[in-house]
Amino acid sequence: MTWNMSRLLIFGLGYTATHLAARLRDEGWQVVGTTRDGRGETIAFDDEPRVRAEIAAATHLLSSVPPADGGDPVLARYGATLREHRGWIGYLSSTGVYGDVGGAWVDESAAVGTGRRGARAEADAAWLALGARVFRLPGIYGPGRSALDRVRAGTAHRVAAPGQVFSRVHVDDIASGVIAAFDGPGGAYNLADDTPAPQNEVVAFAARLLDMAPPESIPLDRLSPAARGFYTENRRVATGKAKRVLGWAPTFADYRAGLRALNATTSPISVSSPPPSASGVQR
């Protein structure tokens, strides 16, 4: 599809937003992004006159900036201006807002705010109140940021956590979900693949693809406090709403398809990645 005269302003050009920006530019979009320091062709987040001018010029707005201790920094600084915006608004959130459900399936009707990410849940709710399309994302992987890269770099490990399952999503499928929502109604949308699985299984499969020995299995108490916190939550993410309302479906319906594609197209890169939830950084 060709989009004429469409202009997207992205708050926070992180991993996912950068992939989305590249795809939209290829489709004829004008895309402008903010960073903390305004490096390259981006705009400094603190440059209020330029940012407000870009908000006024944008047909679409997307934030990938996570909340800080004092709340959502985008809403704190530009919330009043955003409330006057009449175009499309989106926000990259986290399935961490659902907390621990003991491995059960969660959809967008599930309770939020009961987990360890209270600030994220508050930001999620605030963006929904603006009429935004809020994309709740699980572990994000893609080029340069996957189990393949961690196994190659020797930083991957398996964790003794029986019964633990996680959902994940390929960065390309997030981009396609956001684009599908350009014509969809406001509200929350889970974007994930169709095959929640233990992280140990994913790491072992990546090792097999690389013809490497699987990394050692370690007990939970050897992990950092932040990593242990990640393993306190157990859930499967349902995506029926995005499929039904947006007509979206993941190209990579399971981690095997995604890792095989990455292994076939990506040259070896040493990347130190966060745990699969990865919601403490710009998404």
CA–centroid distance for 88 within its chain: 19
Q: What is the CA radius of gyration of the chain?
A: 19
For residue 146, name the pLDDT band (cuts at 50, 70, 90).
very high
Q: 30 pLDDT exceeds 60?
A: yes
pLDDT range class, residue 268, cuts 50, 70, 90: very low
For the whole model, what pTM was predicted?
0.91
Alpha-carbon span 39 to 63, nearest angstrom: 18
User: Contact, 208 vs 160, CB < 8 A?
Assistant: no
DSSP state for residue 83 in the 8-state scheme: H
What is the pLDDT at residue 282?
54
In the beta sheet, which residues pair with residue 241? none
Answer for the pair 57, 30: CB distance below 8 angstroms, yes or no. Answer: no
Q: In this structure, what DSSP letter does residue 37 have?
A: S
Domain architecture of the chain: domains with CATH: 7-265 (3.40.50.720)
The answer, yes or no, to whether residue 241 has pLDDT greater than 80, is yes
Whether the per-residue pLDDT at 244 is higher than 70: the answer is: yes
Give the angle subtended at the CA of 70 by the CAs of 88 and 274, to the nearest 5°. 75
Q: What is the mean pLDDT of residues 245-270?
A: 87
Q: What are phi and psi of 41, to 5 degrees?
A: -100, 15
Pairing mode, strands 139-141 and 105-106: unpaired
Ranking 48-57, 117-126, 135-144, 168-177 by mean pLDDT, the lowest is 117-126
Sign of CA dihedral 252, 254, 255, 257: negative
- Cα–Cα distance measured from residue 73 to residue 45, given in angstroms and rounded to the nearest whole number: 10
Q: 169: which 2 tokens? A: 């999503």
Three-class SS of residue 103?
A: coil
- Tens of pLDDT, residue by residue over 51-78, are 999 999 999 999 999 998 879 999 999 9
